[in-house]
Each structure stands twice: as structure tokens, then as C-alpha cells.
Homo-oligomer: A and B are copies of this chain.
């Protein structure tokens, strides 16, 4: 914008909103105006909620989840089956798996994948804590739910290797056709995997 049309505080708000994923420079402007119009219903409460999250948010020292308590809501949930542990790359994956609601398990968030090119080694991930956790003896099955990428699979192999001394069953997510997906749009690798892992009707 060539000339200033509003105060520096509002420009600052727009600049920061533009850094939120899902918003760009243009939608940040729209969002800022909407927030200002809904000052008491949205801008005020959101400012407070952000401040509170800023003050209270913690990374769970046990599983790596994001929460305001440590250990987190998942780790302290006694209704869960803590003998089953789902390993995922990121907190967003944990939340996505929980939305599916298929399992009543505990989780362990790695915080990334092994990636030698980016300088990410085993010590940069939450793997040592995982080994310690498994060595406690409670965990009976580990489901490795990392992304189906090269880095994800490398990480899965490394973890399997690290846990080979423990008496735990290690599984991974099935590969196949996404539910609702059309075969025409799928890559050859997925189709091959789906054919090989075909199941009886």
C-alpha cells in the first residue's frame, strides 16, 4: 500500500495475521477488519485466548503432545489402553488420528522424521524417550503411523530397529485405496500396494 490508510497498530495486526497458515496478505486484511468489527465477540476473546495459550502451553514430556498440562490429557487419560502406542511424526497427526476415533490408544510424537540432508538425526527426534517408555514394559503393541514418504519409512525402519530387543508387536498403517478415492487418480505405487494387500469380501 503506497500511503497509510490506518494506524500502525492495525497494520501490525494485519502483518502478523498474514503469517498464520491459511491466511495470506489479502485475507489477513479481511480477517483483521472482521475481527475489528466483531471487537467484543471475537477480537477481545481471541486476544485473551492467545495470551492464555502463550502462558500455559507445554510440550508433554512423556509423549510430545501439545497441551496446557504435563503429562498431557492423552497420557493421563485412564480410560485409554496404554498398552497400545501409536507413533506419529507431528502433533497434527496425533490430532488427526484421534479425530478418526478408531483407536483408544496412547501416542508418542516424534517431532519430525529422520532426514540426513536436513541434518535431522535420531537425537533430534523424540526417540530416546520412546525407547525409555517401551522399556517400562507396559506397551504391548506399537503402531508406527508415520507419513508414507521416504523419510517416514526410513524413520519407521530405524524405530523398528531400536525396539527390536523388546517383546512388543510392531505394526504399521495399511497402504491402499483411500476411502472415497477414485482409482483413476491414484498413483501406481498405491494401486500396487492395494492389489497386493487385497482382502476377501
A187 CB to nearest chain B CB (Å): 24
A5 and B74 contact, Cβ closer than 8 Å, known pairs A10-B66, A19-B42: yes
Closest B residue by C-beta to A5: B98
A31-39, A113-121, A158-166: which lies at the B interface? A31-39
Tell yes or no: A22 within 8 A of B by CB.
yes
Number of residues from A at the complex interface, CB < 8 A = 62
Considering only residues 51-103 of chain A, those with a C-beta below 8 Å from chain B are 51-54, 56-57, 65-69, 72-74, 77, 79, 90-92, 94-95, 98-99, 101
B10 touches A46 (CB 8 A): no
Tell yes or no: A9 within 8 A of B by CB.
yes
A29 touches B95 (CB 8 A): yes
A2 CB to nearest chain B CB (Å): 5
B46 touches A17 (CB 8 A): yes
B23 touches A36 (CB 8 A): no
CA distance A12 to B22 in the complex (A): 19
The 10 lowest CB-CB distance pairs between A and B, nearest first, are A7-B68, A47-B50, A22-B27, A47-B51, A13-B49, A2-B101, A16-B46, A5-B98, A7-B67, A9-B68
Q: Hey, which bits of chain A sit against chain B, CB under 8 A?
A: 1-10, 12-13, 16-17, 19-23, 27, 29-36, 38-39, 42-47, 49-54, 56-57, 65-69, 72-74, 77, 79, 90-92, 94-95, 98-99, 101
